[in-house]
Amino acid sequence: MKQLGHFINGQHVAGQSGRFVDVMNPALGEVQARVALASGAELDAAVAAAAAAQPAWGATNPQRRARVMMEFVRLLNRDMDKLAEALSAEHGKTIPDARGDVQRGLEVIEFCIGAPHLLKGEFTDSAGPGIDMYSMRQPLGVVAGITPFNFPAMIPMWKMGPALACGNAFILKPSERDPSVPLMLAELLKEAGLPDGILQVVNGDKEAVDAILDNPTIQAIGFVGSTPIAEYIYGRGCSNGKRVQCFGGAKNHMIIMPDADMDQAADALVGAGYGAAGERCMAISVAVPVGDETADRLIEKLVPRIEKLKVGPYTSGNDVDYGPLVTAQARERVLGLIDSGVEQGAKLVMDGRGFTLQGYESGYFVGPTLFDKVTTDMEIYKQEIFGPVLSTVRAQTYEEALGYAMDHEYGNGTAIFTRDGDTARDFAARVNVGMIGINVPIPVPLAYHTFGGWKKSGFGDLNQHGTDAFRFYTRTKTVTSRWPSGLKEGGEFHFKQMD
């Protein structure tokens, strides 16, 4: 059976802790590999190696660092199919979804090619008599990223791309559920010309996470995952004096106004609610039609579309709409939440609990599930389900619908479907959510804008990718400079008074 270790100092190394965890094939419910779990001592050794390598990389001019990013983009495009295949085999998402995972990470790397411009400071000539003032952006040193299972290519690249382009060394602790792609990315960066030691991939669990949080050499940490873990990492990291950004859970609402194009809205909900089996933080999991007539029309449009969804393993090709959940535990949790929705009185329009697939009876599949008449006190409304479950909450007015999105503890993404520009503008201005879609169901910003949620979806002052990432991974140093304007007799310098 395949054994996966770590990527340290430019090469694959076996784990030394003696602890391993199984990597599953989620379509078959079978073990396909084992990955080593690093001890705290192994993590600290990787950090020490990164710290030794970082000064030379930090002193490399930004244009040369950008050339490494440029070559990395070429290699990502070359190996796109190989990366997507490995990703799908461990995560379970379809090949088109896996390619999208890699592509959205690649786009951030493309943005990082602009590092020479993004790292420019500011300059003021003649701030005073003979006085110039300027600022510099300098790397932090060694930084780290702790990334989730649901985007094993995209989110590691969102973290490490800007960090490396800024001149830092980077410690990546990816999810142990699908570790192959992060290790492959490290190989490609080495091939692209990244010096050994600048990117370390350390697989592990809570022991490795705590070692990252407590290691005094690590200056900054980026995290994506659930809100309870985000709160833990943010609190412990900040208490240790680190710069920390954490992105947590989500419960994304899509408001459907009576004037919306109902076919467009239904198509958007099916893709946003069930794509990738709902295992993404920007999935739409709550539909909020305004008015009972709107709700009835929406459900009428949704049901035949959902009935046509094809669920299966990624090996079935492009005919599959989504695959299995990542683990048996994830499947049991989703099924339990569906049970709770029934018990608490929601109307179960489509039931995915009994879904089976011939030849894949042990796989972690859940069929598409649709609830209507969900209320805000139900667990399926309050919790992030992270599965192929769409809940419909009926609102009688626009203000009531807006209140659902604003009152929920999560504030990652939201959307409104309407033909009325005034309503859309009001919604975008008032809703207390970080990313807004107007007739766009999953409003993930492109790489040159910034990604981040509000409320319990995000912790920290700066967001992911865009210019915020370059601010997060650098410190600003401001220099005030004065040079003598001439010499007095006897060789003494004459300094003018600064105003």
Distance CA 430, CA 403 (A): 10
Residue 186 covered by a domain: yes
Residue 443 covered by a domain: no
Assess whether 300 and 185 both reside in one domain: no
For 262-306, write each residue's pLDDT tens digit.
999 999 999 999 999 999 999 999 999 999 999 999 999 999 999
Tell me which residue of 15, 61, 69, 192 sits closest to 447, measured CA to CA: 69
**pLDDT for 79:** 98
In the chain, which stretches have pLDDT less than 50? Answer: 498-499
Q: Of residues 112, 166, 246, 281, which has the active-site annotation?
A: 281
Assess whether 406 and 469 both reside in one domain: no
Query: What distance separates the 2 farthest-apart alpha carbons in the chain?
Result: 97
Beta strands in 315-439 (DSSP E): 347-350, 369-372, 389-392, 410-411, 413-417, 435-438
Distance CA 223, CA 246 (A): 5
The reported pTM is: 0.93
**pLDDT for 134:** 94
Distance CA 90, CA 332 (A): 18
**Strand partners for 253:** 286, 414
- Structural domain of residue 417, as residue ranges? 252-438
Residue 491 covered by a domain: no
Is 238 part of the annotated catalytic residue set? no
**pLDDT for 489:** 52
Distance CA 117, CA 111 (A): 11
CATH number where 134 lies: 3.40.605.10
Assess whether 290 and 198 both reside in one domain: no
Residue 376 covered by a domain: yes
Distance CA 106, CA 153 (A): 9
Distance CA 382, CA 369 (A): 17
Assess whether 413 and 307 both reside in one domain: yes
Assess whether 110 and 244 both reside in one domain: yes
Assess whether 224 and 365 both reside in one domain: no
Assess whether 364 and 321 both reside in one domain: yes
Residue 465 covered by a domain: yes
Assess whether 236 and 256 both reside in one domain: no
Which three-class secondary structure state does DSSP give residue 204? coil
Residue 485 covered by a domain: no
Assess whether 262 and 411 both reside in one domain: yes
Total count of domains within the chain: 2
Residue 487 covered by a domain: no
Residue 356 covered by a domain: yes
Assess whether 363 and 463 both reside in one domain: no
Tokens of 265: 């809205």
Assess whether 85 and 185 both reside in one domain: yes
